[in-house]
Structure 1
Amino acid sequence: MKIKRHGALISLMAAGALALTACGSDQNTPQSGGNSGAPAPTNTAQVECGGKKSLVAEGSSAQKGAMDLFIQAYGAKCAGQQLAYTPSGSGNGVKQFTGGVSDIGGSDSPLKEGEETTKATDRCKSNPAWNLPLVFGPVAVAYKLDGATDVTLTPDVLAKIFSGQVKTWDDAAITQANGGKALPSKPITVVYRGDDSGTTDNFQLYLGAAAPSSWTKGAGKKFNGGVGQGAQGSSGVADALGAADGTIGYVEWSFAQDKKLSMAKIDSGAGAVELTAQSAAAAIKEAKTKGSGNDLQLDLKALYATKTAGAYPLVLATYEIVCSKGYDADTAKAVKAFLTVAATDGQQQLADAGYVPLPQEFQTKLLDAIKAIA
């Protein structure tokens, strides 16, 4: 399957960009409308095929479209080798990995310190698990509001909407964000992910970083806003947003595009910014690595709080969670081969599926970490 998306983002170098979409517990992947983006990185890695014939991976639906392409590239590069991916959501991705059910976990958030990290270390036979970001993508603030086709919201207003402090579309705070233009006088219905979701975690982290005085609900894979109605998976949120007037929610860009949902511009202080490949790429430059060594988890706080003109700050990273050590020899060999192919050959067709390949500098970091898996 392909994912419909107009590019997106990572620009860890001057011209880089990358793209994808979200996290989820649904197994639906939106239909594609291919896309061009940054050129695929140079394939410089040696792939040592072999090992376990059938790998198992599970987790974020954000990477389902990319995983389809990675699996195809893996089979082409390593004849007879397979990987089965279940897009059951980030929460399940972590649980299935730490429980030893899957060889690779997919999550839109790195492992949390505490129970998740402890369970992952136990699963890896007293060795640390690594968070390896393989794809990045923007999250849309999507809405349905008859009579309004151009809506701008600030981080502060978003935080107040999703915590129930702003209840109507003609609220004075929304009017001010839209240059004094009042929107229709209708109640706001918040739609959120009802299942454990890395998208929810990242959205709440964004609100906490961009509007700390207005969002005091914390983060996590469960929605803490205390308002609205939950929907299952990314496709469930997109369907709910498209079904009723007055709704607003957060959903991966490709799902918003697939359902032809209206998407709000975000004004972080330097003017309204529309979600585009370029605006997401402008923001991703603010991301910093906070993991140690080959644990490449990112600190997105600076990105979320950016006020850079032309930057769309609501972006998430999708991680592959793997054991640094602790696999049996056959599994380790196959995991390394799959990830190496995904980071090299697998990048070549991402643009046609609506993704933008990893930039060269980040690809090098990723390949060094993959090579170190033992």
Structure 2
Amino acid sequence: MNIKRIGSVAAIAIAGAVVLSSCAANEDNAGSNSSSSSSTGDMSSLSGTLTGSGSSAQQTAEATWAAGFQEQASGVTVNYTPDGSGAGRENFMSGAADFAGSDAALKDEELSGEFKNCAADSKGIDIPVYISPIAIAYKVDGVSDLTLDAKSIAGIFSGKITKWNDDEIAALNDGVDLPSSNITVVHRSDDSGTTQNFSEYVAANAPDVWTEEPSQTFPFQVGDSAKGTSGVASAMQGASNAITYIDDSGAGDLDKAKLMVGDKATELSAEGAAQVVADSDVASGREENDLAISIDRKDTAEGAWPLVLVSYAIACQEYEDKDKADLVKAYLGYVVSEDAQKAAATEAKSAALSSELSEKAAAAVASIK
């Protein structure tokens, strides 16, 4: 897979739930950068309401997709609330949401459970819709150029490294005047796919320091916590000498550390995140249309950014309600289209799906009944 990065502009600022009626979409989002044409066909006859819940990392992308979709399906209202990946999966499984956005694929124990909106014997499937680098964002007095590696990141976020001028950080930043200030760690308080991806990276690359199993719940009693991408960004704005992990779409004007990838200090980029996904395989042992990605967290290719998240739309393979299936299928068909992916890449600073992954995602969407 070869995922191409589209140029980015400032992300849409969204404080709460994404709730877009067709009129609002047409009047207020005319500049959403989505084309009026897509590969999903005529959707003008569709009507109804779609409810999505989950990933706060997807928040800006979901607003962009909803606007573009509703230009083509004016009878459909798309509601999306950024409750966090874990809550989104719970809401989908309980029937409170028609689809979920999640920065982590369904777990085996979830797949063995009940999906209220799905037809009998049908389960949820994971469809990749959003690829984004996770930033190690910081706000440190007098420091605007910082390099960290997996070991130092693991040390900071586990509470083992507590001062900015710690020898381990200093060794990676020759010539940088690091303050002796205490490090303020900010992490997610909710069940978060971003935390899952972050912890997978440090566990894979610094297992002697990050001794906990990868999890969607932050495992250490250190620092301050906040809910969702926007909550973490807000907490960072009010903090000093602080550091966090955050989807790049929410990093705003925070400084971003370089990451040691192999023996090179690498700047964050959507291209680098996309490269890692292209180098990774679809996870084995899943259903035919389930496209969970087994991310290569140790990818050291030139420019690679292995601290990446792949975020999914989770839908029923077969819905109990045929009309709802038609709406989900139409919306997600638009989401994985070239137009929608380019629009999200522009607004959310994400990487558009590669043509290969887009084709696989489109085939998975087409299989929804």
TM-score normalised by L of structure 2: 0.85
Partner of 2:138: 143
Whole-angstrom distance in 2 between the partners of 1:72 and 1:358: 19
* Aligned residue among 220, 228, 231 for 1:233: 228
Residue 43 of structure 1 deviates from its aligned partner by: 4.3
* Aligned residue among 337, 340, 348 for 1:346: 340
| Residue identity in the other structure for 2:5 | A
Partner of 2:244: 249
Cα gap change, 1:262 to 1:145, in 2 (>3 Å)? same
Q: Does 1:309 align with 2:302?
A: yes
Contact 1:136 / 1:316 at 8 angstroms: preserved in 2?
yes
Whole-angstrom distance in 2 between the partners of 1:189 and 1:201: 21
Partner of 1:165: 160
Residue 277 of structure 1 deviates from its aligned partner by: 3.1
* Aligned residue among 113, 121, 132 for 1:119: 113
Partner of 1:273: 266
Partner of 1:223: 218
* Aligned residue among 285, 289, 297 for 2:278: 285
Q: State which drifts further: 241-250 or 145-154.
A: 241-250
Whole-angstrom distance in 1 between the partners of 2:133 and 2:7: 7
Residue 239 of structure 1 deviates from its aligned partner by: 2.3
| Residue identity in the other structure for 1:74 | F
Whole-angstrom distance in 2 between the partners of 1:50 and 1:328: 18
- What is the DSSP-based 3-state SS (H/G/I as helix, E as strand, rest coil) of the residue aligned with 1:102? coil
Residue 252 of structure 1 deviates from its aligned partner by: 1.5
Residue 51 of structure 1 deviates from its aligned partner by: 6.1
Q: Does 1:79 align with 2:69?
A: no
- What is the DSSP-based 3-state SS (H/G/I as helix, E as strand, rest coil) of the residue aligned with 1:56? strand
Cα gap change, 1:182 to 1:307, in 2 (>3 Å)? farther
| Residue identity in the other structure for 2:263 | A
Query: How many percent identity over aligned positions?
Result: 35
Q: State which drifts further: 152-161 or 51-60.
A: 51-60
Contact 1:35 / 1:355 at 8 angstroms: preserved in 2?
no
| Residue identity in the other structure for 2:222 | V
Residue 182 of structure 1 deviates from its aligned partner by: 5.7
Cα gap change, 1:286 to 1:75, in 2 (>3 Å)? same
| Residue identity in the other structure for 1:350 | A
Gaps of 5+ in 2: 19-28
Whole-angstrom distance in 1 between the partners of 2:143 and 2:243: 13
Q: Of the two structures, which has the highest relative contact order with CA contacts closer than 8 Å and spacing of 6 or more?
A: 1
Partner of 2:26: none
* Aligned residue among 209, 214, 225 for 1:214: 209
**C-alpha offsets along residues 97-119 of structure 1, whole Å, 9 cap, x if unaligned?**
010011101111111111x2233
Contact 2:143 / 2:177 at 8 angstroms: preserved in 1?
no
Contact 1:59 / 1:87 at 8 angstroms: preserved in 2?
yes
Q: Does 1:27 align with 2:27?
A: no
Partner of 2:181: 186
Residue 132 of structure 1 deviates from its aligned partner by: 0.6
Whole-angstrom distance in 2 between the partners of 1:164 and 1:238: 20
Q: Does 1:337 align with 2:317?
A: no
Partner of 2:123: 128
Contact 1:19 / 1:138 at 8 angstroms: preserved in 2?
no
Whole-angstrom distance in 1 between the partners of 2:59 and 2:327: 20
Contact 1:196 / 1:222 at 8 angstroms: preserved in 2?
yes
Residue 17 of structure 1 deviates from its aligned partner by: 3.3
Gaps of 5+ in 1: 1-11
Q: State which drifts further: 151-160 or 80-89.
A: 80-89
Q: Does 1:106 align with 2:106?
A: no
* Aligned residue among 71, 88, 92 for 1:97: 92
